[in-house]
Structure formats: structure tokens, C-alpha cells
Homo-oligomer: A and B are copies of this chain.
Amino acid sequence: MAFSPLIDQLVEALRCLPGVGPKSAQRMAFHLLERDREGGLKLAEQLDTAMHGVARCSSCRTLTEQPRCSICDNFKRDRTTICVVETPADVFAFEQSGIYRGLYFVLMGHLSPIDGIGPAEIGVSDLLQRLQEEEIQEVILATNPTVEGEATAYYITEQVKSMGAKVSRIAHGVPLGGELEYVDSGTLAHALNGRRLVD
């Protein structure tokens, strides 16, 4: 035992947060106890409400407390395009850019047989069902450019193509503001292969 039991238990519980080790957890516990009890209580309440209240959108599988999320429920969105991403945070990134007006499908992960995550876990059948039932014309694959993300994109491509829908993959290349000399060779290869004629 380091401090009193309640403080020890709080420090231990804080370690469930990603990136929080014993020292940070201790600092967080003392900060809340010494200077921000109101914030701590508020956090306890929000955690409890969110853990119990947040479920998945029945249509796109993202996290939401409604049966369907606000994007799936927004009838001003383009219902002919569906963008497949790995996590709700990816949806947020697209929404912040303001460039995309279609719908989403959130896999909540990527194919990873070694962790027991197969097509069923990432909801591929839900996606195919939506292709059958809705007027979707194009599926944009925006999984991460990692080995698992690419494999997932490849698998979904095969499945979707067999249903006759158009499939596209977002472009990978040199990011804006990036300097060519610091870009890794994999990215450079993508940038070169994905080159477009200037007219």
C-alpha cells in the first residue's frame, strides 16, 4: 500500500486510460483530490452515463446513444456513397474536413485473424446487406494504410465487387506540407504509382 486505500484504488483505476502509467495516474489522482474535486465528480458521472448509454448505430455501427447516429439520420446527406472507415475517430476526421457529404460504415477495427477478428466481427455482412437494400452506388474504402488496413480493404473490395457496386480507395501519397526528402519510401512509391496526368 502506498497511500490510503481509497487513493490507491483511484490510482489503479485511472490506469485503465490509454497512455497512463503509474506516475501519471498518481499525478491525476492528486490533482483531482487537491484541486478539482468538482471535475472529478463530473467525470465520474459522465463516465457512468456514457458507459451505460452509448451503443452502436444500427445502420453504420459507429458509437452513439441513439438507435441511429446523427449522420445516418440526416436526410440531407448523399445516400448513394458510403465511406468505410475503421473507427469513429476516423468519421470525426472526415467530418472535420467538411469535404465528404455521403454516409459511413464503421468497421470498429480491421481484419486480424491472430486476434480472432474476422469478417463477422467487423460487420462485413451488415455492409453487404446495406448494398442490397439501399441505393448505394459507390463504396469508398478509407481503412488505414497499414498491412491490416490494406488486407481489410482488399477483402471488402472482393465482396463488394461481387455485388456489382463500384469500389474506390482513398489516395495515398505525400501529405500536404510534407517535405519530399522526409517522406518514407512506401509513401513515395504510392505517390508515384498514383500519379495523374496534368492537362
Interface residues, chain A, with chain B CB atoms under 8 Å away:
1-7, 9-10, 12-14, 16-19, 24, 26-34, 36-37, 39-54, 63-66, 69-70, 87-89, 92, 95-96, 108
Number of copies: 2
Interface hub of A1, A46, A96 (most chain B Cβ within 10 A): A46
Q: List 30 A-B contacts (CB under 8 A).
A: A2-B92, A2-B95, A2-B96, A3-B64, A5-B65, A6-B50, A6-B54, A9-B46, A9-B49, A9-B50, A13-B39, A13-B43, A13-B47, A16-B36, A16-B42, A18-B27, A19-B28, A27-B89, A32-B47, A33-B50, A34-B63, A37-B51, A40-B47, A40-B50, A41-B52, A43-B44, A43-B47, A44-B44, A44-B47, A44-B48
In the bound complex, how far is the Cα of B64 from the Cα of A63, in angstroms? 38
Contacts A4-B64, A19-B24, A66-B4 hold; do A41 and B51 have CB atoms under 8 A apart?
A: yes
9 A-B pairs with the lowest CB-CB distances in the bound complex, closest first: A16-B39, A44-B47, A13-B46, A44-B48, A10-B50, A4-B64, A13-B43, A40-B51, A18-B31
Q: Which residues of chain B come closer than 8 Å to A49, judged between CB atoms?
A: 6, 9-10
Q: Which residues of chain B come closer than 8 Å to A66, judged between CB atoms?
A: 4
